[in-house]
């Protein structure tokens, strides 16, 4: 599985997205991350393993604490990939807008002279 596949698979779950949203405001332990959910700490730990495997978070040891931190670099890679498609679709929508403007003005559809 490619890095992007792993990233998007991890992001497909709403609980994991909520965990990432929480970690965006700062590190947290499994216990802290499990507080807003009805899931058990072992269930949250499983979600964290998926996020860690995807490179979206890291876990460290601080005495007896095991804080989790978000890894923004992995999200940046996914964002970059999505941005390429956004640019493609923006160009297509602009072309569609131009066509619709031409049709409203009573012109024959065709490429615009710029």
What local confidence, expressed as pLDDT, does residue 112 receive? 57
- Cα distance between residue 59 and residue 69, in whole Å: 6
Express each pLDDT in 75-87 by its tens digit.
898 999 889 888 8
- Rounded (10°) CA dihedral 95, 101, 104, 106: -80
What local confidence, expressed as pLDDT, does residue 56 receive? 96
pTM, full prediction: 0.73
Q: Quickly name the fold that domain 3-71 has.
A: Arc Repressor Mutant, subunit A (1.10.10)
Domains in the chain: boundaries = 3-71
> Counting beta carbons within 10 angstroms of the beta carbon of residue 32, is it exposed (0 to 12), middle (13 to 18) or buried (19 or more)?
middle
- Cα distance between residue 26 and residue 20, in whole Å: 10
Express each pLDDT in 35-63 by its tens digit.
989 988 899 999 999 999 999 999 988 88
Query: Which of the two residues, 109 and 64, has the higher pLDDT score?
Result: 64
What local confidence, expressed as pLDDT, does residue 89 receive? 87
- Cα distance between residue 32 and residue 46, in whole Å: 15
């Amino acid at each position: 599985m490619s890095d992007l596949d792993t990233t998007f698979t991890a992001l497909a779950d709403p609980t994991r997205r909520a965990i990432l949203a929480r970690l965006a405001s700062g590190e947290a332990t499994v216990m802290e991350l499990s507080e807003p959910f009805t899931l058990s700490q072992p269930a949250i730990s499983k979600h964290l393993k998926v996020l860690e495997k995807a490179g979206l978070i890291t876990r460290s040891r601080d005495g007896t604490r095991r804080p989790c931190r978000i890894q923004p670099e992995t999200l940046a890679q996914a964002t970059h990939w999505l941005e390429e498609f956004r640019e493609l679709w923006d160009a297509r929508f602009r072309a569609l807008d131009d066509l619709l403007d031409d049709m409203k003005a009573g012109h024959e559809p065709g490429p615009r002279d710029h």
